[in-house]
Amino acid sequence: MKKFCLILFAGILLAACHKEPMDRTIFIPDEDDPELPAYSEWGYNSFGAEYERDYFLVSNKIVPCKIVYSSGQLQFALSGKISSNGKEMTLIFSFPFPEITDFMDLVQLNNEKINLSDSVCTVKILQDGTGDTTLNVSDGELHFKRAQLLSIDDKLNRVILSGTFELRFLQENFPANISDGRFDVGITKNYFHYNK
């Protein structure tokens, strides 16, 4: 009887925790630079990049990624904090892409490389709610290395987007950069919006 109760309790505990861990951030340090998360393709809801001599990193208190499709443009937003001062920041990549009306269609991003210096692309930074700044990008790339569907209990749950990014730009008329960026995020219907 005791063994049966233990097994039942373990089953209830697993069922209760079944979905929530997929929404949490898992930060596994990179071997070469432990301030950054290691590159992964497991849906760890993590990202990070060097921002000048600082780091732009995922935060457990902020949804790491949201996507909006509107008027032929896909907006891919990564939200986190600057490590040295804790200020919130969002990096928004906007680029033309064939129509995506549902989060499941994001698998079309598999192995897509976006040239961020192309005139049809824009990159914006939003810091601590002070309004956004459009960056004057001179060079850069956003690479969706892998886009994969994830099902839980035979039901489609999310699309996992994994990839890398880097860019060079002018900030207050001086060169600046975001480098060694990587992301591994799970997008559900709650974090994708199609704007007709």
Give residue 6's pLDDT.
36
14 found inside a domain? no
pLDDT tens digits, one per residue of 64-89: 999 999 999 999 999 999 999 999 99
User: Are 82 and 55 contacting, i.e. CB atoms less than 8 angstroms apart?
Assistant: yes
The pLDDT of residue 17 is above 90: no
50 found inside a domain? yes
Give residue 130's pLDDT.
77
Cα distance between the two ends of the chain: 58
Smallest CA-to-CA distance from 61 within 79, 39, 77, 48 is with 79
12 found inside a domain? no
Instruction: Give the span between the Cα atoms of 29 and 116, in whole angstroms.
Output: 27
User: Are 150 and 160 contacting, i.e. CB atoms less than 8 angstroms apart?
Assistant: yes
86 found inside a domain? yes
6 found inside a domain? no
State which H helix or E strand residue 52 sits in: none
The pLDDT of residue 13 is above 60: no
How far is residue 29 from each of residues 35, 46, 51, 114, 117, measured CA to CA in Å?
Answer: 7, 11, 17, 26, 30
The pLDDT of residue 55 is above 60: yes
Rounded to 5°, the CA angle 151-63-67 comes to 70
**Could you give the number of structural domains in the chain?**
1
Return mean pLDDT, the chain: 90
pLDDT tens digits, one per residue of 106-165: 999 999 999 999 999 999 999 987 788 999 999 999 999 999 999 988 899 999 999 999
Whole-prediction pTM value?
0.88
100 found inside a domain? yes
pLDDT tens digits, one per residue of 170-192: 988 899 999 999 999 999 999 99
The pLDDT of residue 20 is above 60: no
- 107: helix, strand or coil: helix
17 found inside a domain? no
Task: Name the phi and psi angles at 39, rounded to 5.
Answer: -65, 135
78 found inside a domain? yes
Q: How many Cα atoms sit within 13 Å of 118 on the Cβ side?
A: 12
Domain region containing 190: 23-195
